[in-house]
Amino acid sequence: MVQQPTYGLRKRTLSGSTVIELSGELDLLATTELMISLDAVCDTQPRQLVLDLRQVTFLDCSGLSLLCRIRNRLRGERSRLLLVLDDPRHRRLLRLTRLSDIFDIAPDVPPTPQ
């Protein structure tokens, strides 16, 4: 029996920014599969990558690791990474792991690049 993915990914461009909307569970299975897609996005060297996490229902350490990986890859390309999240549990997780200060975080997708 093949396990169905418990996550979703949708990519779009908005005002010159690449917006990736992630949904569902960002666990070990999801992040292993998402890494390939997100690495490909990083390879395009977007001026700004917006990761919209508002539809993410579960985020564990492998999900945090994926976010750090993307941040580190884009930092080397001089691109900006913006996390969009409004779930207090996810904000708390970032704060407890002392990652909240290394990410730019917004409650909504900005209409134009900042």
Residues β-bridged to residue 67: none
CA distance 95 to 83: 14
How confident is the model at residue 11, as a pLDDT? Answer: 95
Complete DSSP assignment for 43-94: HT--SEEEEEEEEEEEE-HHHHHHHHHHHHHHHHHT-EEEEE---HHHHHHH
How confident is the model at residue 4, as a pLDDT? Answer: 67
Helix (H) or strand (E) holding 97: none
pLDDT digits 0-9 by tens, 30-68 = 999 999 999 999 999 999 999 999 999 999 999 999 999
How confident is the model at residue 34, as a pLDDT? Answer: 94
- Using alpha carbons only, how large is the chain's radius of gyration in Å? 13
Tokens representing 12? 């779009």
- Residue 3 pLDDT greater than 90, yes or no: no
How confident is the model at residue 107, as a pLDDT? Answer: 93
Average pLDDT over residues 96-103: 95
How confident is the model at residue 39, as a pLDDT? Answer: 94
- 18: helix, coil or strand? strand
- Residue 101 pLDDT greater than 60, yes or no: yes
Helix (H) or strand (E) holding 106: strand 104-106
pLDDT band, very low/low/confident/very high, at 113 (cuts 50, 70, 90): very low
- Domain 7-106 coded CATH 2.40.50.320: no
- 29: helix, coil or strand? helix
User: How many other β-carbons are positioned within 10 Å of the β-carbon of residue 79?
Assistant: 19
pLDDT digits 0-9 by tens, 79-97 = 999 999 999 999 999 999 9
